[in-house]
Amino acid sequence: MKRQIAIPLVFGVIGTAVLISLGMWQVQRLAEKEAGLAEIDRRIADAPVSLPDTPTESDHKYLAVTASGAFLTPELHVLVGAKDLGAGYRLIQPFETQGRRILVDRGFIDLDAKDATRPLGTAQVTGNLHWPDEVDSYTPAPDLQRDIWFARDVPAMAEALETEPVLLVVRQETPQSVSGLTPLPVDSTNVPNDHLQYAITWFSLALIWAGMTSYFVWRTGRTARAAKGKTT
């Protein structure tokens, strides 16, 4: 009987220990991710600086910047759903500043405003540099005939508008010359942080594994004792 109990007990203890260690690792990752999100929030809210000469994603993602210049044509329209606003488009335009052309995400417009004529002119824009990770194998290619994009693909948009592959997401625009335009500034809410759910899952599995092991050991012992009683 000891052998019948010992083997499943060893597997049960080892399995429970492994699952608990995975849960503890996710708790550690949660702390690291929360620290990273706090750093992102701090960087987003920093006092804006001038546009760097050669911005890169690794060094300048979320950097708060301000730039003065002029909006140009043509526009790009990225289909999006925004909380409290519904379905619409992100309005992406070329922006010329100090002899450079960059991409500017001016914000949200309604579906029926896509083809409206918008005034051009000079402006000062303040926001954050961003390299959105929105394109995957399931993302449809842009519908160029209807001028609808389905993700902010910075390199592709830059090629289409003949700008640097640099995207400034507007937080504030002065003057605000487009009616019905709502800025959708960068924030950390879309940065995935599922480590708490993962930790709960691993700890729950550890509890289930330990419970099943305890039940199996108890049932095996009970069966063995009953069988021994019948033979005596």
| Whether residue 195 has pLDDT greater than 90 | no
Ordered by start, the domain boundaries in the chain are: 2-40+193-231, 63-174
Mean pLDDT of 52-65: 93
Average pLDDT, the chain: 87
First to last CA, the chain: 16
CB-count exposure of residue 196 (10 Å: 0-12, 13-18, 19+): middle
Higher pLDDT, 26 or 229: 26
Q: Where are the beta strands (DSSP E) in the chain?
A: 49-50, 64-71, 76-82, 86-97, 100-110, 121-130, 167-174
Share of the chain above pLDDT 70, in %: 91
Q: Are 87 and 111 in contact (CB under 8 A)?
A: yes
Confidence (pLDDT) at 230: 61
Confidence (pLDDT) at 187: 82
Confidence (pLDDT) at 2: 60
DSSP state string for 71-88: E-S--EEEEEEETTTEEE
Residues with Cβ within 8 Å of residue 209, at least 6 apart in sequence: 12, 15, 16, 19
Confidence (pLDDT) at 177: 76
Tell me the C-alpha distance between 195 and 200, whole Å.
9
Confidence (pLDDT) at 227: 61
Confidence class for position 149, pLDDT limits 50, 70, 90? very high
Confidence class for position 154, pLDDT limits 50, 70, 90? very high
Higher pLDDT, 220 or 114: 114
Among 211, 219, 209, residue whose Cα is nearest residue 21 = 209
| Whether residue 68 has pLDDT greater than 90 | yes
Tell me the C-alpha distance between 60 and 65, whole Å.
10
166 φ, ψ (degrees, to nearest 5): -130, 125
DSSP 149: B
Confidence class for position 148, pLDDT limits 50, 70, 90? very high
Mean pLDDT of 72-99: 93
For the stretch 156-174, pLDDT in tens is 999 999 999 999 999 999 9
Domain 63-174 is of which CATH architecture?
Beta Barrel (2.40)
| Whether residue 37 has pLDDT greater than 80 | no
Higher pLDDT, 6 or 198: 198
pTM of the entire structure?
0.74
Q: Sort residue 62 into left (φ over 0), alpha (ψ -120 to 50) or beta.
A: left
